Amino acid sequence: MNTDVLTFGRLRGFGEADKAFLLLSILCGVVYLATQTIQPFPGSIAVKALSIAPLAVLAFKLLRGARPQGIEWLRDRDNLILGTALSFSCLGDIFLDLPGNFFVQGLVSFLVAHFIYILLFVRNWSRPLRPNGWQLVLMAGVLITSLLLSNWLSPNLGAMAKPVMVYICAITVMVISSILAGFSKPYVWVGAVLFLISDSMIAAGRFKTPVPFAEYLIWATYYLGQYGIAIGFLREKLGER
């Protein structure tokens, strides 16, 4: 089966086992989306976790093979950074679906993931950093959106005001850092923006007002966001040009 379209082009070192991991992620993501109205059901947490966990495996596995030899090996840890960010995201997914109230634990897990993503993107900035016009426009749009969201949510946050505001700042910086990375294709920063949209809908539904079709829109934008970041980054590092 040719999976080049799913990886945004041919990837070096992408074998049959990697195809299986990718297809497992996509299958579980689709199943989790299609079963929103009957959740929770036995195994639903596993389906959710297996949507993101295979992407982490691909990051750990494929980028490891792309590292240079010698002393440069010590400086190139993109595989560990991307894989760890996806792993913390997977942990956050599990917390949000566990019985009981584990919202704060999920929030912390995703907060850590965003900090790790920021590290990944900043490491890949060009030096010296010279953002072009479209990057400046995108960053301005993200900043304005985050400020409006914060202002809209703030009266309803109560005791959660500080952690939520810290989280909004973190995900905003994550999106901006992905834009400034200046990757040759837009997959990574588009994924980061979708991640921001997904989390904005979660915050709106929890603290302000229900979002129509939220259960479908939140998961679709979240999964596509993580997929865009993970596979887009792999394409950037391993894509055959």
pTM beyond 0.75? yes
DSSP alpha helix (H) spans, the chain:
16-34, 44-65, 78-97, 103-123, 133-153, 161-180, 187-207, 214-238
Contact present, 96 and 39 (Cβ < 8 Å) = no
> Could you read off the pLDDT tens digit of each residue along the chain, which spans 241 residues?
678 899 999 998 899 999 999 999 999 999 999 999 999 999 999 999 999 999 999 999 998 755 544 444 444 589 999 999 999 999 999 999 999 889 899 999 999 999 999 999 999 998 888 999 999 999 999 999 999 999 999 999 999 999 999 999 999 999 999 999 989 999 999 999 999 999 999 999 999 998 999 999 999 999 999 999 999 999 999 987 6
